[in-house]
Amino acid sequence: MRIIAGTHRGHRIAAPPGRDTRPTSDRVRENAFNLIGPVDEADVLDLFAGSGAMGLEALSRGAASATLVESSRDACRTINANLDKLKLKATVLCQDAVRAVSRERRTYDLVLCDPPYDFDRSKLLPHLAGLLNEDGVLVWETSGRADAPDVPGLEVRTSRKYGTARLTLFEL
C-alpha cells in the first residue's frame, strides 16, 4: 500500500499482520478522495482505521488533524509505525469504535467509517450525525454487494461501487 497524493505521495505504508483487517485498496482510496474533494485544514475521524491508510491519506492531502480509532492492538501498533515513518502527527485511540463515538464531544469535517462487513451497525449509526460539522461528510465503506446503511439525520450524497467495495458519502 502507498499514499496516493499530497505531501507524502508514493510513500509505502504497512498493513496490520493477519487477515482481521481489510486495508482499503489504493484505487478505492483514490476514488474516495476524488468524491470527497479537498480536505485542506479538515479535522478527520477515521473509525475502524486498520492500517490508518485513509487517515494518513487525508493528512498527506492537507488535513489539519486526524483521530484514528481501532480496537486491534496490532493494528494500533501498525498505525503508530506508519505515523512515525511518515513523520505525521495524529491521535490514535486503541478502543472500540462505538465506545469512542459515544463519548466523543468534538465534531469533524470528515468521518471515515470502514467497519468489518459483519459488524452490527445498530449501536454506531445513531452517533454518526452528531460527529459531523455543518458542512461535514461521512464516508462509509461496505462490500460492493451491500446496500448503504440508513444513517439517522444524514442524507446520501452519492454511492458508488469500485470492484468489491462500495463507498457511500453522507451529509447533513
19 pLDDT band, cuts 50/70/90, is: low
Cα–Cα distance for residue pair 4/11, rounded to 1 Å? 8
For residue 133, CA distances in Å to 56, 92, 153 come to 20, 21, 13
Q: What's the half-sphere exposure (Cβ side, CA atoms, 13 Å) at 129?
A: 11
| Range(s) of the domain holding residue 132 | 26-171
Is 7 within a domain?
Answer: no
Is 90 within a domain?
Answer: yes
Residue showing cell 483514490: 30
For residue 6, CA distances in Å to 23, 54, 67, 162 come to 19, 13, 19, 22
- For the chain, how many structural domains are there in total? 1
Q: Give the per-residue pLDDT at 146.
A: 86
For residue 156, CA distances in Å to 24, 29, 97, 112, 172 come to 21, 19, 22, 14, 9
For residue 163, CA distances in Å to 31, 166, 167 come to 11, 8, 11
Is 3 within a domain?
Answer: no
Is 133 within a domain?
Answer: yes
pTM value is 0.94
Is 21 within a domain?
Answer: no
Is 9 within a domain?
Answer: no
State the average pLDDT for the chain. Answer: 93
**pLDDT per residue as tens digits for the range 112-160:** 999 988 889 999 999 999 999 999 999 999 988 888 889 999 999 999 9
**pLDDT per residue as tens digits for the range 28-56:** 999 999 999 999 999 999 999 999 999 99
CATH of the domain at 46: 3.40.50.150
